[in-house]
């Protein structure tokens, strides 16, 4: 590992941290240390980093803002790559917007609305980055990423930069090609439609108010924990089972929204995982429905 660190330092790829607590980089504020944590300054430094990491045969993963992510208590072996400032650019051209993978998805929706472009209103309540949204095919209010994505620039594991069209990305409900193929979204272009700024702002405000009233945004959480089963809502099932407020250690099923688990201040990843299993088991027994988590779990227990 030291040789890898030395080579990355010599290449001046950006921020390099050893044994960095992942609790500093997840919205749940949970997670043990990463062996090595890097923030490359741009896509070329990132591509070089991947080549060096591959040379030393060290495992790696990539994160954005750390939402929808649970890192286990013993942390992550290998390299964690975070896309941050160097991947936060944005530009508009007619009805298209090109944006870096590290850019906030909510912020993107706001900026598009200010430009009088409609199509991203659904993103106004989805935490995380553009790259994470593409990875998960994030969606809400009857729309998702696959409906508006024009193309995505992607860095392959061998260091090649390629562009993918949406039809090549195997989009489905909360899934994409990136969950089976190791690659990093660098940048995306979305095709939107010119609309009325006031109407867009009104719809965005409605979504924002609903989110503020129904979601536990003042507490550390990771967004929705479970995928909605066909024809139903995970939150409705969990609430119907009387599980709101159920607690394991410092983790609790939110009193505000049953499909959220909040960190009450000292939750461990194991607390969250145990609570997830209890909820799954109860819903299976009560309603014969198998809830599937949409939270990505990384690291060692």
Are residues 186 and 257 both part of a single domain?
no
pLDDT band at 158 (very low <50, low <70, confident <90, very high): confident
Give me the sheet containing 149-156, strands edge to edge.
90-93, 96-100, 183-191, 149-156, 161-164
Are residues 193 and 118 both part of a single domain?
yes
Predicted local confidence at residue 204, as pLDDT: 85
Are residues 65 and 95 both part of a single domain?
no
Is 301 a residue whose pLDDT tops 80?
A: no
Query: What percentage of the chain has pLDDT greater than the value 90?
Result: 83
Are residues 80 and 112 both part of a single domain?
no
**Residues β-bridged to residue 149:** 190
Are residues 93 and 201 both part of a single domain?
yes
Q: Which residues are catalytic?
A: 174, 224, 294
User: Pick from 133, 83, 126, 134: which is nearest to 106 by CA?
Assistant: 126
Here the CATH number for the domain that contains residue 166 is: 3.30.465.10
Helix (H) or strand (E) holding 239, with range, is helix 234-240
Predicted local confidence at residue 53, as pLDDT: 96
Here the CATH number for the domain that contains residue 232 is: 3.90.78.10
Q: Give 66-119 pLDDT, tens digit per residue.
A: 988 999 999 999 999 999 989 999 999 999 999 999 999 999 999 999 999 999
Are residues 103 and 193 both part of a single domain?
yes
User: Pick from 279, 207, 237, 273: which is nearest to 28 by CA?
Assistant: 273
Provide the token pair at 274. 């145990």
Are residues 74 and 43 both part of a single domain?
yes
Is 150 a residue whose pLDDT tops 90?
A: yes
The residue out of 150, 181, 213 marking a domain boundary is 213
Are residues 28 and 133 both part of a single domain?
no
Q: Is the pTM of this model over 0.85?
A: yes
171/132 Cα distance (integer angstroms): 13
The residue out of 159, 189, 213 marking a domain boundary is 213
Is 169 a residue whose pLDDT tops 90?
A: yes
The residue out of 158, 190, 213 marking a domain boundary is 213
Give how many domains the chain has, as a whole number: 3
Are residues 78 and 183 both part of a single domain?
no
Provide the token pair at 270. 């194991």
Mean pLDDT of the chain: 94
Here the CATH number for the domain that contains residue 75 is: 3.30.43.10
Are residues 93 and 174 both part of a single domain?
yes
Q: Give 180-228 pLDDT, tens digit per residue.
A: 999 999 999 999 999 999 999 998 888 788 888 888 888 999 989 999 9
Instruction: Tell me whether residue 130 is exposed, middle or buried, using C-beta atoms within 10 angstroms of its C-beta: 0 to 12, 13 to 18, 19 or more.
Output: buried
Predicted local confidence at residue 100, as pLDDT: 98
71/295 Cα distance (integer angstroms): 10
154/173 Cα distance (integer angstroms): 21
Rounded to a whole number of angstroms, the CA Rg of the chain reads 20
21/286 Cα distance (integer angstroms): 38
Q: Give 239-263 pLDDT, tens digit per residue.
A: 999 999 999 999 999 999 999 999 9
The residue segments making up the domain with residue 24 are: 2-85
Predicted local confidence at residue 141, as pLDDT: 78
Q: How far apart are the first and last CA of the chain?
A: 22
CB distance 100 to 87 below 8 Å = yes
Predicted local confidence at residue 139, as pLDDT: 83
């Amino acid at each position: 590992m030291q040789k890898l660190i030395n080579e990355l330092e010599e290449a001046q790829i950006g921020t390099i941290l050893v044994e960095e607590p992942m609790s500093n980089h997840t919205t749940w504020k949970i997670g043990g240390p990463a062996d090595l944590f890097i923030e490359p300054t741009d896509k070329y430094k990132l591509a070089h980093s991947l080549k060096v990491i591959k040379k030393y045969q060290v495992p790696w993963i990539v994160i954005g803002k750390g939402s929808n992510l649970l890192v286990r208590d013993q942390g992550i072996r290998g390299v964690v790559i975070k896309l941050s400032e160097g991947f936060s650019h944005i530009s508009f051209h007619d009805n298209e917007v090109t944006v870096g993978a590290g850019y906030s998805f909510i912020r993107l929706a706001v900026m598009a609305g200010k430009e009088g472009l409609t199509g991203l209103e659904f993103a106004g309540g989805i935490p995380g980055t553009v790259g994470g949204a593409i990875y998960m095919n994030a969606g809400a209010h009857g729309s998702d990423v696959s409906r508006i994505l024009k193309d995505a620039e992607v860095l392959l594991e061998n260091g090649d930069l390629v562009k993918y069209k949406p039809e090549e990305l195997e989009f489905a409900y909360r899934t994409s090609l990136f969950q089976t193929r190791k690659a990093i979204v660098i940048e995306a272009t979305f095709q939107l439609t010119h609309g009325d700024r006031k109407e867009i702002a009104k719809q965005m405000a409605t979504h924002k108010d609903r989110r503020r009233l129904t979601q536990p945004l003042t507490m550390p959480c990771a967004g929705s924990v479970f995928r909605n089963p066909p024809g139903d809502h995970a939150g409705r099932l969990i609430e119907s089972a009387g599980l709101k407020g159920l607690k394991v250690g410092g983790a609790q099923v939110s009193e505000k929204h049953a499909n959220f688990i909040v960190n009450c201040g000292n939750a461990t990843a194991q607390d969250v995982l145990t609570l997830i299993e209890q909820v799954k088991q109860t819903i299976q027994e009560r309603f014969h429905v198998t809830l599937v988590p949409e939270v990505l779990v990384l690291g060692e227990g």
